[in-house]
Chains A and B, each alone.
Chain A
Amino acid sequence: MNAIAFPKPDPGIMARREAIIAGLSAILPPECLVTSEDERRAFETDAFTAYRRLPLAVALPRTTEEVSAVMAYCHREGVPVVPRGAGTSLAGGAIPQEDAVVIGVSKMNRILAVDFADRTAHVQAGVTNLAITNAVSTEGFFYAPDPSSQLACTIAGNIAMNSGGAHCLKYGVTTNNILGVTMVLVDGTVVEIGGEAMDAPGYDLLGLVCGSEGQLGIITEAHVRILRAAEGARPVLFGFPTSVEAGEAVAAIIAAGIVPVAMEFMDKPAIEICEAFAHAGYPMDVEALLIIEVEGSDEEMDAALARIIAIAKAHGVKTIKESKSAMETAAIWKGRKSAFGATGRVADYICMDGTIPTGQLPLVLRRIDEIVKSYGLRVANVFHAGDGNLHPLILYNCNDPVEARKAEDAGNDILKLCVEVGGCLTGEHGVGIEKRDLMRHQFNEIDLNQQMRVRAAFDNEWILNPAKVFPLDGRPQAGTAR
């Protein structure tokens, strides 16, 4: 696929490569610097693998001070910087460019302090999402946002993309679970944003930084909220004859005053793919599956489920299957969280991430089917039903350039549809390069210009992750902000 453009590498920077590496070598020890072509290959893309660019060099600093020194150096030299967590972005947020230095936070992976009494953890930004939960689970706590890539993805990347997950219906997304960050600005200045208290003073810079896709600074440490886990959690599978009935059941559950901790939807193709992979016991004779999870004591879960089951029955549910053991619960979630990986076993795919008002669900599902069929392709749908965050997986063969282009076009059509019905291009994966050129479908020039002026307040020269989020044409000249 070559539809998404990258800026032309700056020949002046390319010509200075040796000098730039020498400059970085003066800051970082050899084990923190990746320069050979072979080793740089590991950093040329992320989970949006259709695009790749070999970076100039990769810096893997161990401390905030080292990040600051590298940033200051790159800023002085006018060298673009592409921040990187674990490289799990589905939107190409961490894909480098040839004239850029990648700054990866993977060596900063320590949990610095855990305070159970005040329910916070202080972590370095390269720590993985799941490592935080693992560090506090002995005391019954967890870190709430749970993107499917949580085993690998870093807190730095989670903050950059404002990651969500299956359980954010109840617990919110990253921006709702972070108290403060240490961030290195483009010129190497280190700032503390927010802190350890619940509210932060001044402008909500933390809210601005969450989801800013590495354009405002590099996060090196974070104070995150940890929560005490419920006494128990139980997912239940509800199979419906049609997607429409499943969608109506979701609306009815919310209308009844029940907010389950998770409500996940899969259509028949997704059920088949995930079941073949995880053997989770998903019903195979239904068109739509809801995984609804409730929490609390056994009695509380029984009571909540009784209410939900009554609603599901009123909406034509065909099969109901409760998890009876921790092992079954794990299998149910393994199936859902491996949806992308399991799909990758049967075909290449691109994963969409639009959000729609949930009331538009039946219409949008029908239209997605029509769109994908019109390109002669197949689609599997998994999504967060409670919040309308869709993940259609468009299946194609990446060795067939015509089909690849069709898949990309179908994806773009689906995202435009999401915006048309009142939703947005991306619910939790970010814009990256993938949706960059669609931004004008959601925002007009005035909106985009305002966002770019705010961006320039942090990075007037457009050095930080410069090829992302905003369409390449129509940008202000670097360095012209007032």
Chain B
Amino acid sequence: MNAEYTLSPASEAEAAEAVRGAISAMTPIRITGGGTRTGIGRPVQSALTISTAALRGITLYEPAEMVIGARAGTPLAEVQAALAEKGQMLPFEPADYRTIFGSSGEPTIGAIASGNISGARRLWAGAARDSLIGVRFVNGEGEIIKSGGRVMKNVTGLDLVKLQAGAWGTLGLLTEVIFKVSPRPETVATLALDGLNDARAIAALGRAIASPFEITGAAHVPQPGKTYLRIEGFADSVHYRAGELGKLLADFGTLKRLDASEDVWPGIRDAAPVALPRERALWRLSVKPGLAADMVAAIRAVRDGDALYDWGGGLIWFATDASGDAGASVIRAAARQAKGYATLVRAPDSVRAAVPVFEPEAAPVAALTQRIKAAIDPSGLFNPGRMFAGV
């Protein structure tokens, strides 16, 4: 292989040119944004890296229309600062993986889209893919493609926007993304229960989520046995709902409202309670919430590890020893039993080369995946093999 080199196109046209150059040389392309999540996926072998670092800047922000657009390499922090200035936010609370990976650099808005990166508020507000309403990208023919746009209701043509969300750069080089945004709540309250075991905690969270009180965060940290709920809105409404939830959950213990200075949600969003030490493998499981506690118990019956529950049990982070298959066979079987699946977010390269990082797909779905990849990236140049062999 030739010496490794990086291109940092400064415009969409330059990005397309860089891709066309790679196509004519049949050089695989590794795409990178801020470099904070490169550890996710199967290791990508390529000589050429295209960085979005110079594709930067907010291209559109209309607070009254609740929409923001930015070039893919725009730091997430820049987007969030612009939104905060107008009292708005990205509704899905994107997670920061720097603690998980010990990475430096600045997460980019394009990576939030391509990784479908959400946080605790996903429970109420949907995932990144639900807020992503427009993309522009360079496909594997070196063509610039647009899909979706700046309006939140749009069913014109096939939704290639969703396809890009969670494709981890295997379906082209994103150059610009447009998200719908939401008002930043005036008041946020975190309510906590103490000392519940996993099953009781999930039951309490489930009851709260099934109430009319608009829960925007529902997490359980088994060590040290803290169960958290979040409600948001105008102060009087938050106060009212906090009271109602206290009554609703009375048989689980006393629901305490945390001091506003004690913000547990960034840590939950970023999986901080189980992120360290980094030598351990870290799994991310999405399952049917009501089955989460039993699933974790089933895994722990055969393999030690620490769990963190978010989304009322719909999301489980599980840290375990990275030896062997990092628990893949046990964990994936348990996740399937719980009507869900597992992603190996962090493990040494050697493990990720041997163990599927993304949940293996059933044969007919895998065939669709391969054909979609071929329809957008016919030469298979973008992040080759990052998600699946050949994808």
Nearest CB of chain A from residue B17's CB, rounded to whole Å: 15
Q: Is the CB of B340 within 8 A of A175?
A: no
Task: Find chain B residues with CB under 8 A from A173 CB.
Answer: 153
- CB within 8 A of B210: which of A116, A358, A431? A116
| Among B190-198, B256-264, B373-381, the stretch in contact with A | B373-381
Q: Report if A273 contacts B (CB, 8 A).
A: no
The residue on B at minimum CB distance from A180 is B339
Task: Find chain B residues with CB under 8 A from A128 CB.
Answer: none
Nearest CB of chain B from residue A350's CB, rounded to whole Å: 17
Q: Report if B368 contacts A (CB, 8 A).
A: yes
Give Cα A147–Cα B357 distance, bound, in whole angstroms.
39
Give Cα A115–Cα B291 distance, bound, in whole angstroms.
12
The residue on B at minimum CB distance from A460 is B371
A202-223 vs B, CB cutoff 8 Å, 1 = contact: the mask equals 1111111011100100000000
Q: Report if B294 contacts A (CB, 8 A).
A: no
- CB within 8 A of B240: which of A196, A215, A299? A299
Nearest CB of chain B from residue A188's CB, rounded to whole Å: 11
Nearest CB of chain B from residue A224's CB, rounded to whole Å: 14
Q: Report if A392 contacts B (CB, 8 A).
A: no
Tell me the A101-149 residues at the B interface (CB within 8 Å).
115-120, 140-141
Q: Report if B130 contacts A (CB, 8 A).
A: yes
Q: Report if A320 contacts B (CB, 8 A).
A: no
Task: Find chain B residues with CB under 8 A from A228 CB.
Answer: 209-212
Task: Find chain B residues with CB under 8 A from A454 CB.
Answer: 158, 160, 163, 372, 375-376
- CB within 8 A of A175: which of B144, B162, B339, B378? B162
Q: Is the CB of B154 within 8 A of A424?
A: yes
Give Cα A175–Cα B165 distance, bound, in whole angstroms.
13
Nearest CB of chain B from residue A264's CB, rounded to whole Å: 13
Tell me the A164-211 residues at the B interface (CB within 8 Å).
164, 168, 172-173, 175-176, 185, 189-193, 195-208, 210-211
Give Cα A481–Cα B378 distance, bound, in whole angstroms.
10
| Given A176-B126, A442-B157, A447-B147 contact (CB < 8 Å) | yes
Nearest CB of chain A from residue B288's CB, rounded to whole Å: 5
- CB within 8 A of B150: which of A196, A206, A307, A422? A422
Nearest CB of chain A from residue B141's CB, rounded to whole Å: 8
Q: Is the CB of A201 within 8 A of B151?
A: no
Interface centre among A212, A228, A304 (most CB of B within 10 A): A228
Nearest CB of chain A from residue B119's CB, rounded to whole Å: 12
Interface centre among B130, B151, B158 (most CB of A within 10 A): B158
Q: Is the CB of B129 within 8 A of A446?
A: no
Q: Report if A92 contacts B (CB, 8 A).
A: no
Q: Is the CB of B375 within 8 A of A303?
A: no
Q: Is the CB of A388 within 8 A of B341?
A: no
Q: Is the CB of B236 within 8 A of A303?
A: yes
Task: Find chain A residues with CB under 8 A from B156 CB.
Answer: 424-426, 431, 435, 439, 442-443
- CB within 8 A of B165: which of A176, A204, A355, A424? A204
Give Cα A176–Cα B161 distance, bound, in whole angstroms.
13
Give Cα A114–Cα B223 distance, bound, in whole angstroms.
33
- CB within 8 A of B290: which of A115, A176, A435, A458? A115
Q: Report if A339 contacts B (CB, 8 A).
A: no
Q: Is the CB of B87 within 8 A of A257?
A: yes
Give Cα A193–Cα B362 distance, bound, in whole angstroms.
10
The residue on A at minimum CB distance from B371 is A457
Q: Is the CB of B145 within 8 A of A447?
A: yes
Tell me the B26-67 residues at the A interface (CB within 8 Å).
62-67
Task: Find chain A residues with CB under 8 A from B157 CB.
Answer: 431, 439, 442-443, 447-448, 451, 469
Task: Find chain B residues with CB under 8 A from A204 CB.
Answer: 116, 129, 162-163, 165-167
Task: Find chain B residues with CB under 8 A from A429 CB.
Answer: 155
Q: Is the CB of A446 within 8 A of B64?
A: no
Task: Find chain B residues with CB under 8 A from A446 CB.
Answer: 143-145
Task: Find chain A residues with CB under 8 A from B216 CB.
Answer: none
Q: Is the CB of A229 within 8 A of B147?
A: no
| Among B7-15, B99-107, B180-188, B321-329, the stretch in contact with A | B180-188
B64-80 vs A, CB cutoff 8 Å, 1 = contact: the mask equals 11110000000000000
Q: Is the CB of B165 within 8 A of A207?
A: yes
Nearest CB of chain A from residue B347's CB, rounded to whole Å: 17
Q: Is the CB of B237 within 8 A of A303?
A: yes
Tell me the A428-445 residues at the B interface (CB within 8 Å).
428-431, 435, 439, 442-443
Task: Find chain A residues with CB under 8 A from B149 CB.
Answer: 422-424
Give Cα A203–Cα B240 distance, bound, in whole angstroms.
41
Q: Is the CB of B236 within 8 A of A161?
A: no
Q: Report if A39 contacts B (CB, 8 A).
A: no
Q: Is the CB of A197 within 8 A of B240?
A: no
Tell me the B112-170 residues at the A interface (CB within 8 Å).
116, 118, 122-123, 126-127, 129-130, 139, 143-147, 149-163, 165-167
Q: Is the CB of B184 within 8 A of A257?
A: yes
- CB within 8 A of B122: which of A164, A198, A435, A456? A198
Task: Find chain A residues with CB under 8 A from B150 CB.
Answer: 357, 422-423
Interface size class of B (residues with CB under 8 A): 35 or more
The residue on B at minimum CB distance from A161 is B155
The residue on B at minimum CB distance from A253 is B64
A324-368 vs B, CB cutoff 8 Å, 1 = contact: the mask equals 000000000000000000000000000000011111000000000
Q: Is the CB of B361 within 8 A of A202?
A: yes
Task: Find chain A residues with CB under 8 A from B210 CB.
Answer: 116-117, 119, 141, 228
Nearest CB of chain B from residue A477's CB, rounded to whole Å: 16
Q: Is the CB of B289 within 8 A of A207?
A: no
The residue on A at minimum CB distance from B388 is A202
Nearest CB of chain A from residue B378's CB, rounded to whole Å: 6
Q: Is the CB of A202 within 8 A of B151?
A: no
Q: Is the CB of B362 within 8 A of A192?
A: yes
The residue on B at minimum CB distance from A193 is B365
Q: Is the CB of B159 within 8 A of A211?
A: yes
Q: Is the CB of A443 within 8 A of B129?
A: no
Q: Report if B314 contacts A (CB, 8 A).
A: yes
| Given A201-B341, A208-B163, A427-B153 contact (CB < 8 Å) | yes
- CB within 8 A of B234: which of A303, A450, A451? A303
Q: Is the CB of A191 within 8 A of B368?
A: yes
| Given A207-B129, A259-B182, A446-B143, A355-B212 contact (CB < 8 Å) | no
Give Cα A211–Cα B160 distance, bound, in whole angstroms.
11
Task: Find chain A residues with CB under 8 A from B387 CB.
Answer: 202
- CB within 8 A of A197: which of B116, B130, B161, B341? B341
Q: Report if A316 contacts B (CB, 8 A).
A: no
Task: Find chain A residues with CB under 8 A from B376 CB.
Answer: 450, 453-454
Nearest CB of chain A from residue B60's CB, rounded to whole Å: 9
Nearest CB of chain A from residue B94's CB, rounded to whole Å: 14
Q: Report if A300 contacts B (CB, 8 A).
A: yes
Q: Is the CB of B364 within 8 A of A212?
A: no
Q: Report if A15 contacts B (CB, 8 A).
A: no
Task: Find chain A residues with CB under 8 A from B375 CB.
Answer: 450, 453-454, 456-457, 481
- CB within 8 A of B162: which of A207, A231, A259, A456? A207
Task: Find chain A residues with CB under 8 A from B167 CB.
Answer: 203-204
Q: Is the CB of B183 within 8 A of A202?
A: no
Tell me the A297-311 residues at the B interface (CB within 8 Å).
297, 299-300, 303-304, 307
Nearest CB of chain B from residue A247's CB, rounded to whole Å: 10
25 contacts between A and B (CB under 8 A): A115-B288, A197-B288, A199-B314, A199-B315, A200-B286, A201-B286, A203-B167, A207-B159, A207-B165, A251-B64, A258-B183, A296-B212, A303-B236, A357-B151, A358-B64, A388-B152, A422-B150, A423-B149, A423-B150, A435-B156, A448-B157, A451-B147, A451-B157, A451-B160, A454-B375
Known A191-B364, A201-B361, A207-B159; 14 more pairs at CB < 8 Å: A118-B289, A119-B210, A176-B130, A191-B365, A198-B311, A228-B209, A257-B183, A303-B234, A303-B237, A423-B149, A426-B156, A450-B160, A469-B158, A481-B375
Q: Which 8 A-B pairs have the closest CB atoms?
A: A207-B162, A257-B183, A427-B153, A457-B371, A201-B359, A197-B340, A251-B64, A453-B375
